[in-house]
Each structure stands twice: as structure tokens, then as C-alpha cells.
């Protein structure tokens, strides 16, 4: 029996287009989430140069030194690559793009208790997908809420321009960039259950809270995609991948963005 395709309703597509984000349930089954659990639990005890470099010594005062984010796990782990190309997620992206999506990046955040959040920012500042835009697929591996550092989004900012960021508060954010919400608009929490996937546009202003709990991680598997009709992307995201695993090379986007070519971006988001 053929698997049912994950197609969006017109209401869901309209919500994404007007609000800039959409939460979709049911794209990952319990066994698939358990496989992601075990894969990144195993990775958490390794040092993988250039991708995951934890401080495995006891006594570090910053929990993110023991559990930094894993960058581009699809480049060294086949399970991560398979879930970056997870068919139900790509089906939703096909509906949102109205064309084939290309996978550009994968990440895994452990976000242990006590760890700092990430200041508000815009993804396409880093990916520089052109023409078109990137879309993130942010999968909650743990339930995410206001206490354990869930995601914050500023609705409707998907239509706003990419802006040059200010400096973030390093006491609250592990990254250095901060994008101030437009006047009269503010960030709101996105409450998510385990396995929910949040899709959002590359211009949408978003970030996250500090994890204020003492015993709850807020793990997330996050991938970024580009539209097939894009011709360029930042060089940090090469190569891209089609669903069948074949590689796609776009031009390296030399655009300095709103800050000019002198500005040093925080690679790779």
C-alpha cells in the first residue's frame, strides 16, 4: 500500500505566506524519532573536528561547551543525511516552494539545562539564497516551551527586508548577532510537542529563550533548504542535495548583504 503524501491545505499555505511560519505534526514516527535520539546521543560523546567539538572535561561552567551544536552532521553521518532528506518534510517544502527543494544544511542542538539562547536573527542573512529564499525545517526532538528554551518568532516579518544585525547580549545569546523587531511587533513563543516540525521563511525574525530548567534538554534537528530555481547560495552551504541524494552545485553568492563585504558573518548561522 502506498504511503499517503503529506500535502498542505490551502489554509496552511496561506498561514505560511502571511505569517511566515507553519507548524506541521506527524512528519516523523516514534521509531524515526528514537533513531535520531540514539544517533545524536552517540555523537555527543565524540569529537568530530570542524563539526562537533565538545569540552568533555568535567567542571565547565558553560553547558554549551559540553554540548555545542552539531554543524552539518549530514556530511559525516548517513542517518543525519537521510533525515535531512526525509521525504515527508520534503513534500511539505515542495508545497511551500511550489517547486523542488534542495537541502543545504543540517544542525542538531542539544540545548542542555542552563544554556543560553540565540538572539533574534534572520536565516537568509547567512545562507544568501538568490533568487528565492531559504526555508528552515525545525524539528522538536524534545517538547519545546518557554521554560526549556523554545523558539521565538516575530510573525509577519517574512515580508521584511534582510537587515544588518546589531550586537547581541552575550550573557543571554551564544551568537553575536541581534535583529531588533520592527516597531509595534514583538516575538512570541512557539510551543511544540516532540516530533512537531516548524517551517519558516528565511526573512522571518526568530531566536530562542535561555533554557531555564534544571533537568530538561531542548534538542532540535534543524535543516535549511533552498528552492531549485535558486542560482546562488553562500559558499559555506555547498554542495546541496536533491531528495535522491545527488549533489547540486549552485554559484557561490558573493553578495555582502546589507552590511557590505567588510562585515564578518557568523558562519554558518
Beta bridge partners of 106: 223
Say how far apart CA 29 and CA 134 lie, in whole Å. Answer: 25
pLDDT of the residue at 1: 41
Q: Give every residue of the chain whose pLDDT is below 50, as ranges.
A: 1-2, 262-269
pLDDT of the residue at 258: 79
Say how far apart CA 10 and CA 8 lie, in whole Å. Answer: 7
Q: Which CATH number fits domain 10-259: 3.40.120.10, 2.60.120.620, 3.40.50.2020, 3.40.50.740?
A: 2.60.120.620
pLDDT of the residue at 57: 83
pLDDT digits (tens, 9 = 90+) for 173-185: 999 999 999 999 9
84: Cα separation from own chain's centroid: 11
Question: DSSP secondary structure string, the chain?
Answer: -PPPP----HHHHHHHHHHSEEEE-SSS-HHHHHHHHHHHHHHTT--BTTTB----STT-S-HHHHSPPEE-GGGT-HHHHHHHT-HHHHHHHHHHHTS-EEEEEEEEE---TT--B---B-THHHH--BSS-EEEEEEESS-B-TTTT-EEE-TTGGGSPP---EE--TTTBSSSEE-PPPTT---EEE-B-TT-EEEEETT--EEE-----SS----EEEEEEEETT--EE-GGGPSEE-TTS-EE-PEE----GGG-TTS---TT-
CB 12 within 8 A of CB 24: yes
pLDDT of the residue at 4: 63
pLDDT of the residue at 64: 95
Say how far apart CA 181 and CA 163 lie, in whole Å. Answer: 11
pLDDT of the residue at 223: 98
pLDDT of the residue at 268: 44
Amino acid at each position: 500500500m502506498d504511503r499517503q503524501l503529506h500535502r498542505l491545505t490551502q489554509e496552511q499555505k496561506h498561514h505560511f505566506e502571511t505569517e511566515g511560519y507553519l507548524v506541521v505534526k506527524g512528519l516523523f514516527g516514534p521509531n524515526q524519532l528514537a533513531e535520531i535520539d540514539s544517533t545524536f546521543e552517540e555523537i555527543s560523546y565524540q569529537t568530530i573536528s570542524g563539526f562537533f567539538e565538545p569540552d568533555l572535561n568535567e567542571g565547565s561552567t558553560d553547558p554549551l561547551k559540553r554540548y555545542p551544536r552539531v554543524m552539518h552532521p549530514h556530511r559525516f553521518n548517513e542517518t543525519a543525511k537521510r533525515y535531512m532528506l526525509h521525504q515527508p518534510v520534503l513534500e511539505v517544502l515542495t508545497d511551500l516552494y511550489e517547486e523542488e527543494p534542495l537541502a543545504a544544511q543540517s544542525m542538531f542542538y542539544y540545548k542542555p539545562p542552563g544554556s543560553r539562547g540565540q538572539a533574534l536573527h534572520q536565516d537568509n542573512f547567512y545562507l544568501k539564497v538568490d533568487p528565492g529564499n531559504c526555508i528552515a525545517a525545525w524539528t522538536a526532538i524534545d517538547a519545546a516551551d518557554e521554560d526549556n528554551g523554545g523558539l521565538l518568532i516575530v510573525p509577519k516579518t517574512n515580508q521584511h527586508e534582510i537587515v544588518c544585525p546589531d550586537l547581541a547580549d552575550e550573557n543571554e545569546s551564544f551568537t553575536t548577532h541581534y535583529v531588533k523587531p520592527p516597531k509595534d511587533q514583538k516575538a512570541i513563543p512557539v510551543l511544540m510537542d516532540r516530533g512537531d516540525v516548524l517551517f519558516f521563511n528565511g526573512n522571518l525574525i526568530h531566536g530562542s529563550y535561555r533554557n531555564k530548567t534544571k533537568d530538561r534538554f531542548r534538542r532540535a534537528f534543524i535543516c535549511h533548504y533552498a528552492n531549485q530555481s535558486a542560482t546562488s547560495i553562500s559558499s559555506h552551504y555547498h554542495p546541496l542535495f536533491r531528495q535522491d541524494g545527488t549533489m547540486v552545485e549552485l554559484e557561490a553568492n558573493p553578495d555582502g548583504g546589507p552590511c557590505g563585504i567588510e562585515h564578518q558573518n557568523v558562519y554558518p548561522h
